[in-house]
Amino acid sequence: MIDRNSQLKYSICNAPLFLLVVMVVLLHACKPKADEPVDFAARAHGEILTWQEVYDVIPDNASDQDSIYTAENYINNWVRQQAIVHHAQLNLSEEQKDFSRQLEDYRNSLLTFAFEEQYVRQRLDTAISEELIEEYYEQNQNNFLLKDYIVRVKFCILDKETPRMRKFEKLFYSDDHEDLTKLEQFCVEYKARYFLKEDMWIYFDDLLKQVPLDVVDTESFLKKNKQVEFERGNNLFYLNILEYKIKDSVSPLSFQRDRIENIIINQRKVALLNDLRDGIYREALNNKQIEINLEK
């Protein structure tokens, strides 16, 4: 029984584009050394790309055509990269090719990041009380000034042939919570588009993307309009503006709750990491594991 990798290798080797890649490799590669594997996908400037490395980048559920395409691209990119690297090796000085300091710094950064992420993940308290959110909001209101207009609204967009419109209007303008549920059922039944989350603040610009209002002066419009009804094309539009906040005013707490939670959690994370770093430094200092010499 022939395994999938063997079939894939046969298909790739018989693909026209792959033949071009092989020709390029054979023209520019050196002769194989005695200890080099005979069964390789490509060779360039003494470097070997094995078939196993090619198989590893191909998803298990890929079709034969996709597998061939992925393998060809990977091999072609590998060969081109090796050619560029070889050219760089020949044209750079030894000093220019020395990246030991950068590699060490990068390794240290990766080690530090991995350690601190694990430390935070195991110890960070993400539980935030409503009292803490309200306290932060009250103490930092200048940081929550609105950059745009926001509104609490409900709206429905119906086909103008929708029946039982009197019932709809009664439900739409009702303040009864049970009527709001009945209104949603009505909208679902007659395939209307709707937004009935009365407690949710949204940007006025986002509302305009759904309800094509003719607005020149936003603030003036919001002050003068609470209930808006109009017909456009085959649709009837019903809009009820329940509350609004103008630009540069203090944003409602409910609109900033998620942001405040993220801020508090980030503050806890920063404090946790600062304590960790200071503790490790002090321990090393007390154990005389570090030494600072300021004299030349």
Q: What is the pLDDT of residues 180-232, one digit of tens each?
A: 999 999 999 999 999 999 999 999 999 999 999 999 999 999 999 999 999 99
How far CA 121 is from CA of 127, 137, 265, 276, in Å, comes to 13, 26, 12, 13
Task: Verify that 86 and 163 share a domain, yes or no.
Answer: no
Q: What are phi and psi of 126, to 5 degrees?
A: -100, 5
Task: Verify that 154 and 237 share a domain, yes or no.
Answer: yes
Which structural domain, as residue segments, surrounds residue 166?
146-245
Domain boundary among 227, 245, 263: 245
Instruction: Please say whether the beta carbons of 189 and 231 come within 8 A.
Output: no
Number of domains the chain contains: 2
pLDDT of 3 strictly over 80: no
Do the domain assignments include residue 101?
no
pLDDT of 174 strictly over 50: yes
Task: Verify that 155 and 229 share a domain, yes or no.
Answer: yes
Do the domain assignments include residue 220?
yes
Do the domain assignments include residue 233?
yes
Helix (H, G, I), strand (E, B) or coil at 17: helix
Domain boundary among 245, 261, 291: 245
Do the domain assignments include residue 81?
yes
**Inter-residue long-range contacts of 251-257, CB under 8 Å, 24+ positions, other chains counted:** 251/144, 251/145, 251/146, 251/150, 252/150, 252/201, 253/133, 253/134, 253/137, 254/199, 254/200, 254/201, 255/150, 255/201, 256/137, 256/144, 257/133
Do the domain assignments include residue 34?
yes
Helix (H, G, I), strand (E, B) or coil at 124: coil
* Residue 162: predicted pLDDT: 95
* Residue 10: predicted pLDDT: 56
Q: What is the pLDDT of residues 107-153, one digit of tens each?
A: 999 999 999 999 999 999 999 999 999 999 999 999 999 999 999 99
Q: What is the mean pLDDT of the chain?
A: 88
* Residue 259: predicted pLDDT: 96
Domain boundary among 208, 227, 245: 245
**pTM of the complete model:** 0.70
Task: Verify that 154 and 87 share a domain, yes or no.
Answer: no
pLDDT of 27 strictly over 70: no
How far CA 209 is from CA of 113, 191, 197, in Å, comes to 42, 19, 17
Instruction: Please say whether the beta carbons of 5 and 51 come within 8 A.
Output: yes
Do the domain assignments include residue 56?
yes
Beta bridge partners of 231: 236
Instruction: Please say whether the beta carbons of 208 and 137 come within 8 A.
Output: no
Do the domain assignments include residue 254?
no
Query: What is the pLDDT confidence band of residue 29, given thresholds at 50, 70 and 90?
Result: very low
Task: Verify that 82 and 151 share a domain, yes or no.
Answer: no
